[in-house]
With several copies, the nearest count.
Chain A
């Protein structure tokens, strides 16, 4: 049950492996890895800078997790989100969820990611060869979140 923010790259499969071993008795392990795509609308992305308001991101993510845990029965979760400079093809975010039955993991993991997208205080700036640009929040991301929580 951890929410980690870090500058350093992480090896997602080591973390998933460890998580799965830590949750030996779970029947389902869900995971999601978000990575930096090397292109965004024909622009070559050389790197991205992720800014973080750490205290608030922790508060917001914990709040969402609390709500999701009331709704879905899960055994464990892990969230890792990077900040600082991240290169194309590197991971940005990892969510892993363990539960007895698969649907709980799916709903929890997807719901958590949906909320992180619109509530967790991270901002991405994409750096191109001659310029850089702040990434806008996607309209669709606001539509995905489950306000009944």
Chain B
């Protein structure tokens, strides 16, 4: 599954996207927990995962949403355009 990072989160993680493999459907919160275990950078970036926003295939979802390997997950701080 493709994961996209934007804005401050992209800056903290140091990349704008990556691909992970998920065999069956998984909650976003579970994915975040796994990412946090990778290293200090991820752990710090997702420290306040509740204040981040999540979108699957361009639609806002919450941390309980289930994703599958063919989805595109985007994670970012609240938007600030306009």
Contact = CB atoms under 8 A, between A and B. Distances in A.
Please determine whether chains A and B interact with each other in the same assembly. yes
Interface of A: 34, 50-53, 55-57, 59-60, 81, 92-93, 113, 116-125, 134-137
12 contacts: A53-B74, A56-B55, A81-B82, A93-B82, A116-B82, A117-B82, A123-B7, A123-B77, A123-B79, A134-B77, A136-B78, A137-B80
A34 B8 CA distance: 23
Given A123-B7, A134-B8, A59 B79 contact: no
Interface of B: 4, 6-8, 10, 55, 58-60, 74, 76-82
Chain A interface helix/strand/loop/mixed: mixed
B76 A123 contact: yes
A53 B77 CA distance: 12
A138 B50 CA distance: 17
A132 B7 CA distance: 12
A123 B7 CA distance: 6
Given A53-B4, A56-B58, A59-B58, A137 B78 contact: yes
Contact of A34 (B76, B77, B79, B82): B82
A137 B76 CA distance: 12
Given A53-B4, A53-B6, A56-B58, A121 B76 contact: yes
Given A51-B7, A53-B74, A134-B8, A124 B81 contact: yes
A121 B79 CA distance: 6
Which of the listed residues A56, A57, A120, A124 has the most CB atoms from chain B within 10 Å of its own CB? A56
B81 A93 contact: yes
B54 to A, nearest CB: 11
Name which of A51, A59, A93, A113 has the most chain B CB atoms within 10 A of its CB. A51
**Most chain A C-beta atoms within 10 Å of own C-beta, residue among B55, B77, B78, B81:** B81
Contacts of A56: 55, 58, 74
Contacts of B80: 122-124, 134-137
Nearest to A138: B80
